[in-house]
Chain A
Amino acid sequence: MNIKVYTPDVLDEAVNFLQQDGGHIIAGGTDLIIELRKEKLKPEFLVDLTFVNELRGILVSDETIEIGAMTTFEDLINSEYIKAELPSLWECAINMGACQIQNRATIGGNICNAAAAADSIPVFMALEAECIIAGADGIRKMSIDSFILGTGKNSLQKGELLKAVAFKRPQKSEINSFAKLGKRNALAISTIACAVRVKVDNRIITEAFVSTGSLGSKAGRELGVEVYLMGKSITDLNIDEAAEVLSAEVEERLKSRASIAYKKHAVKGVFKEAIEKCIKRANQ
């Protein structure tokens, strides 16, 4: 492997390098290096974003949270704010890969790689996050749902990079959680992931956001169960019934796939684990 690597230290410079043909961004490299070794990708040069400081960090303001694309999973795990206010994101981070991968892998890489099993995407979908994209013409924004086009496909145009994801700062009335089923308890690609966020007023769910990963070519919101949850009491929820609604929704969407016999069943367990965490948090 003999590839030229650019190491810009400001965003404009990074964007400039990307205007040339044949380049590829390298963030943490946990997926890319494997692709390069297998020669599935043969870029002429790499643009390494490691030294672009403005891309890394968690910015908490009164209204919004902005997470730089080069923020590592380890950064999320170490953030007291994330741990306290965004348990969905924190649980996603601590269950992703293992220490070595958490140290290298970035939020931006996880999103842009757009694997069907990407751990962070369902979480950001449930948070209604926006992707902030930088290019030669400046900044543009789009919802993460539109940003992800399918397995391995995102909406970045040539010469663009993902700068950050941003979402509204959770209110006091919000509860969120995450659950993942993998083939083992660490270093596991998710078989099914589920993120749940609910707004609660006087114990009644006023808004619900449920998204899943690894159930189809891209992660997505599960509108049927969101509708089911709305207006229900969080402390008195019939979680089996809610899980059945989700299961039916997943079955309808994936009915042609061989894995559906198992996944329509297993998704219930993953959802229940996530919603049970919300209920527990509501009771605290």
Chain B
Amino acid sequence: MEQLKVVGKSELRVDAKDKVSGKAIYPADIYMENMVYGYTVRSTMPHAEIAVDKKAAEAYPGVLAVFTAEDVTGLNHHGVVFKDHEVFCSKKVRRIGEPIAFVVAETMTAAKAAAKLVNVEYKELPAVFDPIEAMKEDAPKIHGDSNILYHYKLRKGSMDEAFSKCAVVVESTYETSMVDHAFLQPEAGVAYVEEDGTITLVVATQYPHYDREEVAEALGLPHDRIKILTAAVGGAFGGREDVTVQIHLTLAAMKLNRPIKTIYTREESFEAHSKRHPMKMKYKTGALADGTLYAMEAEIVGDSGAHASWALNVLRKAGVHATGPYTIPNVKVDSYAVYTNNPFTGAMRGFGAGQVPMAYEQQIDEIAKRLNMSPIEIRLKNCFKVGSETATGQVLEESVPLTETILKAAEAMNFEAKDQSSSRKKKGKGIASIFYGTGYGNGFPDVSNARAELKADGRIYVYAGATEVGQGAKTALSQIAAEAVGVQLDAIVFINEDTSKTPDSGTAAASRQTYNTGNGIKIACEQLRLEMLELAKEVLKLNTTVGLRINNGIVEVKSLPGRNISLEALYAEAAKRGKNLKIDRTFVAHSVRMDDETGQGAPYWPYTFAAFGVEVEVDTDTGKVDVLNAVCAQDVGKAVNPMLIEGQIEGGFAMGMSWTLYEDLGLQQGKIKNNNFSNYIIPTSLDMPEIKNIIVEAPESTAPFGAKGIGEPVMIPAMPAILNAINDAVGIRITKLPASPQEIVRLLKEKQA
């Protein structure tokens, strides 16, 4: 096999220089002549009937229009799965922060001042904020006649007597917290009408093609009247999946025929986009005397807040991943998604697979402790290997390097060595291993379209609607394209910012772009190479394409380099022949829908594995936890760009650590109290430990050059590893996030008593 030339190299990010030098254009950076500004009026009550009077606001100097539900030209709704968001609330508000009106004025100051004059009369309705309460028959209903919007069932083996055969059974209830994506760039956007009547929306989004559908439906316009340009995206992490500014801006541009801009403040951003689903997880795990995991029962309730967003998919993913990456013969899992009047929850890095390790990783650790086994040994004994069957009955027939990640993390951590510091500051080490299923899953069409084209400048233009959200898609996918065509990286022009030019490649989420769109691009580029060589054969009067290579922009006969044609000339030859060297290809990831009653099926592919080890120090007086060291062993299939992977791991670890130790929305009666970064705490560089990255390669045969997606898996083990390390240090079990100093002190006191 030929050596890989571009894939596997730590190429600099293609977007790095622009971002570092300030050249990159984020939506907030755009100014246009004659531009007006919009400001959103949002609900201040969690559950109420409303009546809106906008006359006073409309009369305010400088105000051009105040848009409310009655002004929406199409269907007044949007939503990624169910259309249960209103563009503007018409009769009722279901959470604090729901859009009621969009005030457009000549200046932002005027828009904000007029917004205060939009008179919203609220008739308060009984509200519910606890998902367990919301499940009850007599609870206030958010939409329709039940708040339970999804129930996933997973059944394997038999639970009769399963636990009675176990030598040790661990049972507890865990609560993860609702958190924000805390991306750097608050929502912003600009919309304008072009001369031909096309309405262009510039926005930072994860899925421009889907936004276009949402906008078209809400405005009652055909798709091709709307063009979405993806500006530079200042972080997404799932928080840019649901529509925020898109419909408001496009509607205003269409009605007023002037360029319009909006920028959310940080406080507004906290109210505008989704959050991570907090989950209440009742867990029971049993093992035989030799440490073999034998039975698990789990009930998981996820708070969807006021809208469904991705709740079905998130709670499904939580249910499928509930066992952790371990073989367990007897499993019963029920997961529920429930509406409440809280802020709505949706996609966030980890997507349900990130919450459940709080339970399964602490329980396996506890089982090991009670059986006097090491946490490493029990994981190695039970973890998935090639040929293992998951709880859904899916056989993992390749690329399962979990054992290797556990061993490497344990070794680098020097796991068995104990090092105690002072009497009041205790050190501890913890490990966690996880798995993550890529893609939309469950038989849903997971489609990535891609186009590759040779153009007059002799370069390869790759078109894919795969957003660069900071994960490195533009670079990694360009590397895949360069490798597949057989050219250098700088011969690739990657275009992903314009829905009028790019095919739909699905969302930049579910860790799917490298695998899915990478595959689409690879097969398009391979075909393009074949056709390019075929034409070169013809032009160079050869008897075969065998022995041809592309070298520095020139197609040449390997053994006779003088016989050659440049790619520019090749393009000209193609044009002369009326031939287009342009290839469109589609890749569809395979997954098999699960049975409704048993959850049996092959919901995701491929799975990615990871094991992280951490060392913490816990101050027993103040309860403060410092993470001192981290070792992150990450399965990547094949590393397309090792440097980008290391960046992902470090960012993922920071995000996981932040969730575990710091983040707290201060949610009270549906209201976010901590809505800016002076009180919504995320870590600084001074809080981060030394991180040792270990990239583990186990190429996956269906993946582009063997590469799997890692965007989400890299953050998942951080939380359970830190919790296990805290337990090792001071002997307490965290059952509620965050593991704040207050919570640690409370548990330490409880333990003493």
Q: Is the CB of A183 within 8 A of B681?
A: yes
Q: Is the CB of A187 within 8 A of B621?
A: no
- Determine how close the nearest CB of chain B comes to the CB of A176; give it in whole angstroms: 21
Are the CB atoms of B684 and A272 closer together than 8 Å?
no
Q: For residue B681, which residue of chain A has the nearest CB?
A: A183
A192 to B621, CA, bound (A): 12
| A185 and B684 form a contact (CB under 8 A) | yes
How extensive is the interface on chain A, given as a class?
A: 20 to 34
Closest to B620 in A: A269
CB of A268 closer than 8 Å to a CB of B: yes
Query: Do A269 and B662 form a contact, CB below 8 Å, given A184-B683, A186-B684?
Result: no
User: Is B14 part of the contact surface with A, judged by Cβ < 8 Å?
Assistant: no
Supposing A185-B687, A262-B742 touch, asked if A272 and B424 sit within 8 A by C-beta, the answer is yes
Residues of B within 8 A of A261 (CB): 746
How near does chain B come to A85, taking the closest CB pair, in angstroms?
26
The answer to whether B621 and A184 have CB atoms under 8 Å apart is no
Whether a CB of chain B sits under 8 angstroms from the CB of A49 is no
Interface size of B as a range = 20 to 34
Q: Is the CB of B662 within 8 A of A184?
A: yes
The chain A residue with its CB closest to the CB of B683 is A184
Interchain CA distance A184-B681 in the complex, whole Å: 8
Report the separation of the CA atoms of residues A185 and B619 in the bound assembly, to the nearest whole angstrom. Answer: 14
Assess whether A266 is in contact with B684, with CB atoms less than 8 Å apart: no
Q: Knowing A266-B741, A269-B424 touch, does A183 contact B662 (C-beta < 8 A)?
A: yes
Asked if residues A266 and B623 are in contact (CB atoms below 8 Å), the reply is yes
Q: Is B3's CB within 8 Å of the partner chain A?
A: no
Chain A residue numbers with a CB within 8 Å of B679 are: 189
Taken together as a complex, chains A and B put the C-alpha atoms of A278 and B228 apart, in Å, by 62
Q: Is A86 an interface residue (CB 8 A)?
A: no
Instruction: Kindly list chain B residues whose C-beta atoms are within 8 Å of the C-beta of A269.
Output: 424, 619-622, 624
Asked if B678 is an interface residue, CB under 8 A from chain A, the answer is yes
Complex Cα distance, B749 from A143, in Å, reads: 39
A270 touches B686 (CB 8 A): no
Q: Determine whether the beta carbon of A184 is less than 8 Å from that of B687.
A: yes
Let me know if B75 is at the binding interface, CB within 8 A: no
A185 CA to B662 CA in the complex, in Å? 12
Would A186 and B686 count as touching, CB distance under 8 A?
Answer: yes
Given the complex, which residues of A lie within 8 Å of B745, measured CB to CB? 262, 265-266
Residues of A within 8 A of B678 (CB): 187, 189
Q: Compute how far the CA of A114 lies from the CA of B746 in the bound complex, rounded to whole angstroms.
A: 31
Contact with B along A208-226 (1 / 0, CB 8 A): 0000000000000000000
> Any chain B CB within 8 A of the CB of A126?
no
Measured between alpha carbons, how far is A186 from B685 in the docked complex, in Å? 8
Confirm or deny: A181 has a beta carbon within 8 angstroms of a beta carbon on chain B.
yes
Q: Which residue of chain A is the closest to B677 with respect to CB atoms?
A: A187
State the CA gap A270–B569 with chains docked (Å): 74
Interface flag for A142 (CB, 8 Å): no
**Given A183-B681, A187-B684, CB of A272 within 8 Å of CB of B621:** yes
Determine if A156 is an interface residue (Cβ-Cβ < 8 Å).
Answer: no
Determine if A98 is an interface residue (Cβ-Cβ < 8 Å): yes
- CA gap between A265 and B678 in the complex, in Å: 24
Q: By the criterion CB–CB under 8 Å, are A265 and B684 in contact?
A: no
CA distance A191 to B749 in the complex (A): 20
Q: Taking CB as reference atom, which chain A residue is nearest B743?
A: A262
B-contact bits for A262-280, CB 8 A (1 contact / 0 none): 1001101110100000000
Which chain A residue shows the least CB distance to B425? Answer: A269
With contacts A184-B662, A184-B681 taken as known, whether A265 is within 8 angstroms of B687 at the C-beta atoms is no
- Complex Cα distance, B687 from A268, in Å, reads 22
CA distance in complex: A185, B741 (Å):
13
Residue on A nearest B684 in the bound complex, by CB: A186
Interface CB pairs A-B, < 8 A, 19: A181-B624, A183-B681, A184-B686, A185-B684, A185-B686, A185-B687, A186-B685, A186-B686, A186-B687, A189-B678, A189-B679, A191-B741, A192-B622, A262-B741, A265-B622, A265-B623, A266-B621, A269-B622, A272-B424
Known: A191-B741, A272-B424; 8 extra A-B contacts, CB below 8 A, are: A181-B622, A181-B624, A261-B746, A265-B621, A265-B623, A268-B621, A269-B619, A272-B621
